[in-house]
């Protein structure tokens, strides 16, 4: 994006956005094939099943990966000790993740998909891989090794798109086969990502500014302060999908997931640019250049995503039935409501990532938590009356208020001379 043009990292920003768009295109391909093969009910079951390890893996990470990227970008000489600290933290987190997933997946199978008992070991194994993937990407991001970082972000959706097309051509319409394929892709990608991170860091300087014994507490403190906003339960845990799947029906969830397929692009573009800007801003924290870069990125993201919103809004009546078929025509108004929410969420993501790079991760958590009263209140009135459309409108309203709160906090802090860190 142009907010980073003129810096030595401009190509990294372009590559990051390209990886985000490419990943979204791959997700669209795999989503289309899954929807056409499985139908609304099967697509909903598949979506609900893979949500379980994603939620548990994100929770058990405790936001530590964001801390890894932040401190590594500021203390490059600590790369080796940070990598060793990750192994220590990962071991404990893995044990907790496996225990929680065994309970959660077993409950899901018993109550939502009794015919899919064979998926339990696969989904339990995915949990640690989600943790490992996050740590690998955080190491690459913090070390500013953006090319392998962007490549590894793209590998998983690309592989899943290829496998989904193969299943489509073979006319394999089993939910179990999709879940097993997704699990294998996540596990192998996580291993490859962490291996790439270790290879990228092997020539890093060895000076250590912080005692090795202090790093676990330092990473956990920073991570937990921004964890809620970094993880974003609504986005990462797909709470809206959980509501549609558990309280409405699997068919409603299938419709809802298809509606979301066209709403991820604004978020991915903003997120991709922020991923490059975050460690750069962290490295410049305390200078006017850091704040200037943050405001340029926010301005360009607003304009770019507004154009995307208007374009997708106009094209949805043609794109959605073309790709997914007439069975999903009812998803068009839902997709439009979610597009509005995605616009505000993408802008909020840029704001909070810039603030995180300036040493204030708690802004993301405050703005995230602040939207849930709106989400709950709107959902209480709208979901019983309007079903999945009520879910979509509730999400859009919550994302709007969340963006307003994050912008207010960021503007308030920008009036100060700097963003003093409270997390080191």
Question: Would you say 152 and 192 are in contact if contact means Cβ atoms under 8 Å apart?
Answer: yes
- Indicate the pLDDT class of residue 414, thresholds 50, 70 and 90: low
Q: How many helices (H) and strands (E) does the chain have?
A: 16, 0
pLDDT in tens, 235-257: 655 666 666 666 666 677 777 77
Mean pLDDT of 349-375: 79
Mean pLDDT of 350-369: 77
Long-range contacts, stretch 83-91, CB < 8 angstroms, 24+ apart: 83/139, 83/197, 83/198, 83/201, 84/212, 85/212, 85/215, 85/216, 85/219, 86/135, 86/139, 88/216, 89/64, 89/216, 89/219, 89/220, 90/128, 90/131, 90/132, 90/135
Question: Of 48, 88, 409, which is closest to residue 249 (Cα–Cα)?
Answer: 48
Backbone angles phi, psi at 207, to 5 degrees: -65, 140
pLDDT in tens, 379-411: 888 888 788 888 889 888 988 988 888 888 777
State the burial class of residue 416 (Cβ atoms within 10 Å of its Cβ: 0-12, 13-18, 19+): exposed
- Helix then strand then coil, % of the chain, to nearest 5: 85, 0, 15
pLDDT at 207: 57
pLDDT in tens, 4-38: 444 555 676 677 777 777 877 888 788 888 888 88
Which contiguous run of DSSP H or E holds residue 115? none
The answer on pLDDT for 421 being more than 50 is: no
Tokens of 33: 């094939």
Distance of CA 246 to the CA centre of its chain: 22
What does each C-alpha distance from 138 to 193, 200, 276, 333 come to in angstroms?
A: 10, 12, 11, 37
Question: Would you say 186 and 126 are in contact if contact means Cβ atoms under 8 Å apart?
Answer: yes
Whole-angstrom distance, CA of residue 358 vs CA of residue 408:
16
- Indicate the pLDDT class of residue 194, thresholds 50, 70 and 90: very high
Give the chain's mean pLDDT: 79
The answer on pLDDT for 232 being more than 80 is: no
Residues 6 or more apart whose CB falls under 8 angstroms from that of 368 comprise: 228, 229, 232, 233, 234, 402
């Amino acid at each position: 994006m142009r907010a980073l043009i003129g810096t030595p990292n401009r190509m990294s920003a372009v590559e990051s956005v390209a990886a985000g768009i490419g990943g979204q295109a791959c997700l669209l391909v795999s989503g289309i094939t899954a929807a056409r093969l499985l139908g609304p009910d099967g697509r909903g079951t598949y979506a609900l099943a893979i949500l379980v390890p994603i939620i548990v893996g994100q929770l058990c990470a405790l936001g530590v990966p964001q801390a890894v990227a932040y401190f590594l970008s500021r203390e490059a000489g600590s790369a080796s000790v940070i990598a060793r600290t990750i192994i220590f933290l990962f071991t404990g987190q893995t044990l907790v993740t496996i225990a929680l997933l065994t309970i959660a997946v077993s409950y899901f199978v018993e109550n939502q998909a009794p015919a899919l008992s064979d998926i339990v070991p696969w989904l339990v194994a995915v949990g640690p891989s989600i943790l490992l993937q996050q740590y690998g990407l955080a190491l690459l991001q913090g070390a500013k090794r953006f090319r392998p970082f962007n490549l590894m972000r793209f590998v998983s959706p690309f592989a899943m798109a290829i496998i989904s097309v193969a299943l489509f051509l073979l006319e394999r319409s089993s939910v179990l086969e999709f879940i097993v394929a997704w699990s294998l892709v996540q596990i192998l990608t996580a291993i490859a990502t962490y291996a790439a991170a270790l290879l990228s860091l092997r020539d890093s300087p060895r000076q250590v500014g912080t005692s090795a014994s202090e790093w676990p507490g330092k990473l956990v403190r920073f991570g937990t302060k921004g964890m809620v906003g970094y993880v974003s339960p609504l986005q990462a845990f797909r709470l809206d999908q959980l509501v549609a799947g558990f309280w409405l029906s699997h068919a409603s969830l299938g419709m809802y997931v298809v509606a979301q397929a066209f709403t991820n692009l604004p978020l991915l573009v903003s997120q991709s640019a922020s991923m490059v800007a975050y460690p750069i801003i962290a490295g410049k924290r305390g200078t006017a250049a850091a704040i200037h870069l943050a405001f340029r990125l926010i301005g360009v993201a607003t304009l770019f995503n507004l154009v995307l919103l208007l374009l997708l809004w106009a094209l949805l009546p043609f794109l959605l039935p073309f790709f997914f078929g007439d069975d999903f025509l009812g998803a068009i108004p839902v997709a439009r409501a979610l597009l509005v929410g995605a616009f505000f969420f993408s802008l909020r993501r840029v704001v909070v990532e810039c603030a995180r790079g300036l040493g204030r991760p708690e802004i993301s958590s405050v703005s995230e938590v602040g939207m849930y009263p709106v989400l709950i209140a709107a959902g209480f009135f709208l979901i019983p009356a309007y079903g999945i459309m009520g879910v979509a409108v509730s999400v859009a309203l919550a994302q709007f208020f969340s963006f307003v709160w994050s912008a207010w906090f960021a503007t308030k802090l920008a009036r100060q001379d700097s963003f003093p860190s409270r997390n080191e």
